[in-house]
Chain A
Amino acid sequence: MSGTVILFLVLYYVIVLGIGYWALRRGGGEDLEGFLLGGRQVGPIATALTLQSTSMSGYMFLGAGGLGFSQGYWALWYAAGDIGGGLLNLSVIGRRMRKMSQMMASLTSIEYLEKRYPSPAIRLVAGSLTVFLLGFYVLAQLIAGGKGMALVTGIPYPLALAIAVGIILAYTFMGGYLAVAYTDFFQSLVMLVGVMWIVIAALSELGGLTAANTAIRELDPTLLSVWGKGLGFEGQWGVVAGAVLIFSIGYMGWPHVVTRHMAMSRPATARRAGLWATAWSLLFVPAPYLVGILAILILPGLDDPEMAIFQVAGQLLPAAVTGLVMAAIMAAIMSTADSLLLQTGSIASRDIYERFINPDASERQMVWVSRGLVVAVALIGYVVALVEPPTVFSIVIFATSVLGSAFLPAYVCAVWWRKANTAGALASMIVGATIAFAWEYAGLVATTQLHPMFSGVVCSTITMIVVSLATQKLSPVPPHILDAMDVASRVGPIPDRYLAATEFELANEAAAVGRALGEGRDE
Chain B
Amino acid sequence: MFGLPVETALLLFGFPLFWILYLGVFMYVSRNWDRDAAAEDDAS
Contact between A and B in the complex (any CB pair below 8 Å): yes
Residues of chain A at the chain B interface (Cβ within 8 Å)? 73, 76-77, 79-81, 83-84, 87-88, 91, 95, 209-214, 217, 224-226, 266-268, 270-272, 274-275, 278, 281-282, 286, 496-497, 499-501
A73 to B9, CA, bound (A): 10
CB of A497 within 8 A of CB of B32, answer yes
Tell me if A83 and B34 are in contact (CB < 8 A). no
Q: B4 to A213, Cβ gap below 8 A?
A: yes
Chain B residue numbers with a CB within 8 Å of A282 are: 16, 19-20
Question: In the bound complex, do residue A268 and residue B3 qualify as a contact, i.e. CB atoms below 8 Å apart?
Answer: no
Residue pair A209, B33 in contact (C-beta under 8 Å): no
Q: Identify 8 new A-B residue pairs, CB closer than 8 A, beyond the known A83-B15, A271-B27, A500-B36.
A: A76-B8, A81-B15, A211-B3, A225-B5, A226-B8, A267-B30, A271-B26, A275-B23
Please, which residues of chain A bring their CB within 8 A of the CB of B22? 84, 87-88, 91
Q: Is the CB of A500 within 8 A of B34?
A: yes
A–B Cβ pairs within 8 angstroms, 16 of them? A84-B15, A84-B22, A88-B22, A95-B33, A212-B3, A226-B5, A266-B34, A268-B34, A271-B27, A271-B33, A274-B26, A275-B23, A282-B20, A496-B32, A500-B34, A500-B36
Whether B36 lies near A278 (C-beta < 8 A) is no
> Which residue of chain A is the closest to B7 with respect to CB atoms?
A226
Closest to A91 in B: B26
What residues of chain B have their CB less than 8 Å away from a CB belonging to chain A? Answer: 2-5, 7-8, 11-12, 15-16, 18-20, 22-23, 26-27, 30, 32-37
A321 to B35, CA, bound (A): 43
Q: Is B23's CB under 8 angstroms from A225's CB?
A: no
Q: In the bound complex, do residue B11 and residue A226 qualify as a contact, i.e. CB atoms below 8 Å apart?
A: yes
Contact A83 B19 (CB under 8 A): yes
- Contact: B2 with A213, CB < 8 Å? yes
B16 and A73 contact, CB distance less than 8 A: no
Q: Are B3's CB and A217's CB within 8 A?
A: yes
The count of A-to-B residue pairs whose CB atoms sit within 8 angstroms is 94
Nearest CB of A to B28, in Å: 11
Q: A83-B16, A275-B23 are in contact. Are A91 and B8 (CB under 8 A)?
A: no
How long is the Cα–Cα vector from A271 to B12 in the complex, in angstroms?
26
Shortest C-beta distance, B41 to chain A (Å), equals 10
| A272 proximity list for chain B (CB < 8 A) | 34
Q: How far is the CA of A91 from the CA of B34 in the complex (A)?
A: 14
In contact, A278 and B33 (Cβ under 8 angstroms): no
Q: Are A73 and B34 in contact (CB under 8 A)?
A: no
The reply to whether B23 and A278 contact each other, CB–CB distance below 8 Å, is yes
| Closest chain B CB from A416 CB (angstroms) | 15
Tell me how far the C-beta of A272 lies from the nearest C-beta in chain B, rounded to whole angstroms: 7
Please name the residue on chain B nearest to A92 by beta carbon. Answer: B26
A497/B35 in contact, CB under 8 A: yes
Residue with the greatest number of chain B CB neighbours at <10 A, chosen from A267, A497, A500: A500
- A207 CB to nearest B CB, Å: 11
Complex Cα distance, B37 from A267, in Å, reads 10
Complex CA distance for A268 and B41, rounded to whole angstroms: 12
In angstroms, Cα B21 to Cα A40, docked, is: 32
- Cα(A212)–Cα(B4), bound, Å: 10
Contacts of B33 in A (CB 8 A): 95, 267-268, 270-271, 499-500
Closest CB in chain A relative to B3 CB, distance in Å: 3
Contact A224 B34 (CB under 8 A): no
Contact B15 A80 (CB under 8 A): yes
CB-defined contacts of B27 to chain A, threshold 8 Å:
271, 274-275
Provided the pairs A73-B4, A225-B5, A266-B37 are in contact, do residues A500 and B32 lie with their beta carbons within 8 angstroms? yes
Looking at B3, B18, B37, the one whose CB has the most chain A CB atoms below 10 A away is B3
